[in-house]
Structure 1
């Protein structure tokens, strides 16, 4: 049954560094694609700068709004020198708290080479690199954050956590995602690659075992396996082989950035953190405080993350208006890049953040 709404409430958290610039850009593009009445954006505070002023990286009122919202759009968070007493970065804790409190178990990172964006891998063209990395987002090695042990300033330990529930749900998510896609560019096969270190560690052998069990319920989707070290070679040598890759938290974090490098860099790296009831969307590039406020940051990753948000909301609510708008935003970005209408500086151009925003909006009519 459709749960289409007349208006979708979106919390926007600008954050730090270039966060406010790219978040404002994405909001402008999304409203151009959907109309101002369909999406209602409410701005809320959070991030390292807010922590420095108030002692809270994620204020209670911001979290309450996120919990009630239809989706969350985030710019970026983190500033140099603003850390907790244990040395860990404050900025990261904004989305980490949201991740765990809202149970956002699937971190989705599309790796797609757009026309007009040159890959550092020779000979690869638009359409030949098009896969998605799904990273388990709530356990793995990062479950130890804040709980590791430092003993007598001589020894430190962190513990990896892999549960059946955690692996089952992210594996099912990955197989379902593959069913919605068109298969790997190389051969058109729907395929889920399990990335692990099952040859060395029992935790990863268990991860692989559960993925294999889940695969039995998806006979139409091929299962593939790759060790985390080997996949870094394969992602460079044969990126067209991949459709969906599922990985434990830390491995997924690492290979996602490698994948982004193969399509032109972090400036095109969109991300979605999804749970059963909530979704958080942000560019994966960080806050880049060294260029903040100069109107030189590329908003492309945040705009593309906004497109992921529209598609997720469209699927969740059976709303074709949102799904269509997501397609239009991605097409507008590709047109701007392909035709050289506003090339970001990180891709070799000179376009400002406002130039890029205006160019994408013009394509949306």
Structure 2
């Protein structure tokens, strides 16, 4: 029986990159292994129905094996309070399904030039694990604006939320090969513990959790210093764990060092559910032009296959993920079918077809 994937194409370039990923995933896994169930959601859905996440879509996402998402959001489509409609789609799924670990791999692939001078020789390969349900974003919809003079949001850190994302980071480090610089398995806690009690608490809970992982080195960095270190010595890092907002910011910085958002995958993982999407936005200015890079969504599909393989004891899916990963690296390394955001001229379709050809 095929594994059902709740699939939300979304807005802007979302449909293009989602269909590209589906084509590659089917090519690698066989056309009967995965059933991509198409669902409504996003800013365009809100414009048509008044619902960014229709109940039918929410139910399907809760019931199916995994969620594959393209992108969400359109310019000017906002709620009465001015916040963007598109963000509400994955935010609601994130909180409703308890997708507490946002996983952002930061890896420099062969054939991609980093803007960092030394990165092509030292390499970049680390993962940012961002706590996904607490932090400053927990104030979503609950902040206060007083008489058009004062606005406040609350930074929420709990022991449970911090402990579980810390353990997720330590367990991920145990599965990896260590930092490129020295091969050391390492978790770096990124915070602002020198200023705010909430971050000092976050650091302390991470430190307590580390006692159960003696084989993984514990490291610390204030977030302002981290923005320097990710530029000057990215090869030192293995796994970085951070609060929601801080993790959001440094993830995009990391993505810029390895080629940009167009080739940066992401996963949002919880106890029973997971959502996979490219880290980029909906890019409505290039929607329908065929120039969007499908690489980030395809690589997000790779992570989806590995997650499904672990949960379903399906080594065939893990093998397919490895083949797609190798095919993407091969295509980018050859430099013939590069997407435009990497300096090439290949269309979304051409990049997709090149990756499918490399699978065979």
Report TM bin, short chain. over 0.9
Aligned counterpart, 2:321: 326
Structure 2 residue 242 is matched with structure 1 residue 243 = no
Structure 2 residue 138 is matched with structure 1 residue 135 = no
Aligned counterpart, 1:92: 87
Please report how far the alpha carbon of residue 44 of structure 1 lies from its aligned counterpart in structure 2 after TM superposition: 0.3
SS in 2 for 1:252: helix
After TM superposition, list the pairs within 5 Å mapping 1:9-24 onto structure 2.
9-24=4-19
CA contact (8 A) 1:131 1:243 kept: yes
359 and 75 in structure 1: CA distance in 2 versus 1, 3 angstrom threshold:
same
In structure 2, distance between residues paired with 1:305 and 1:317: 18
SS in 2 for 1:33: helix
In structure 1, distance between residues paired with 2:48 and 2:122: 46
Return the TM-score normalized by structure 2. Answer: 0.99
Please report how far the alpha carbon of residue 315 of structure 1 lies from its aligned counterpart in structure 2 after TM superposition: 1.4
Please report how far the alpha carbon of residue 127 of structure 1 lies from its aligned counterpart in structure 2 after TM superposition: 7.2
Structure 2 residue 248 is matched with structure 1 residue 264 = no
Structure 2 residue 43 is matched with structure 1 residue 42 = no
In structure 2, distance between residues paired with 1:168 and 1:7: 35
Return the TM-score normalized by structure 1. Answer: 0.98
65 and 126 in structure 1: CA distance in 2 versus 1, 3 angstrom threshold:
farther
SS in 2 for 1:125: helix
State which of 286, 302, 306 in structure 1 corresponds to 2:281.
Answer: 286
State which of 45, 64, 79 in structure 2 corresponds to 1:69.
Answer: 64
SS in 2 for 1:43: strand
CA contact (8 A) 2:24 2:355 kept: yes
State which of 304, 312, 315 in structure 1 corresponds to 2:307.
Answer: 312
State which of 216, 241, 244 in structure 2 corresponds to 1:221.
Answer: 216
In structure 1, distance between residues paired with 2:122 and 2:305: 22
In structure 1, distance between residues paired with 2:341 and 2:229: 25
In structure 2, distance between residues paired with 1:270 and 1:169: 22
String of CA shifts for 1:232-262, please: whole Å, max 9, x gaps. Answer: 0000000000000000000000000000000
Please report how far the alpha carbon of residue 316 of structure 1 lies from its aligned counterpart in structure 2 after TM superposition: 1.7
Aligned counterpart, 1:149: 144
Aligned counterpart, 2:350: 355
In structure 2, distance between residues paired with 1:280 and 1:269: 15
String of CA shifts for 1:188-246, please: whole Å, max 9, x gaps. Answer: 00000000000000000000000000000000000000000000000000000000000
Please report how far the alpha carbon of residue 165 of structure 1 lies from its aligned counterpart in structure 2 after TM superposition: 0.3
Please report how far the alpha carbon of residue 341 of structure 1 lies from its aligned counterpart in structure 2 after TM superposition: 3.0
In structure 2, distance between residues paired with 1:180 and 1:315: 13
State which of 272, 290, 296 in structure 2 corresponds to 1:295.
Answer: 290
Please report how far the alpha carbon of residue 123 of structure 1 lies from its aligned counterpart in structure 2 after TM superposition: 2.4
Aligned counterpart, 1:180: 175
In structure 2, distance between residues paired with 1:274 and 1:236: 27
In structure 1, distance between residues paired with 2:331 and 2:55: 39
Aligned counterpart, 1:3: none
Please report how far the alpha carbon of residue 101 of structure 1 lies from its aligned counterpart in structure 2 after TM superposition: 0.3
In structure 2, distance between residues paired with 1:176 and 1:33: 28
String of CA shifts for 1:58-86, please: whole Å, max 9, x gaps. Answer: 00001111111100000000000000000
Q: After TM superposition, where is structure 1 displaced by more than 2 Å over at least 4 residues in a row?
A: none
After TM superposition, list the pairs within 5 Å mapping 1:107-122 onto structure 2.
107-122=102-117
SS in 2 for 1:92: helix
Please report how far the alpha carbon of residue 159 of structure 1 lies from its aligned counterpart in structure 2 after TM superposition: 0.4
In structure 1, distance between residues paired with 2:183 and 2:317: 27
In structure 2, distance between residues paired with 1:61 and 1:49: 16
SS in 1 for 2:105: strand
String of CA shifts for 1:156-180, please: whole Å, max 9, x gaps. Answer: 0000000000000000000000000
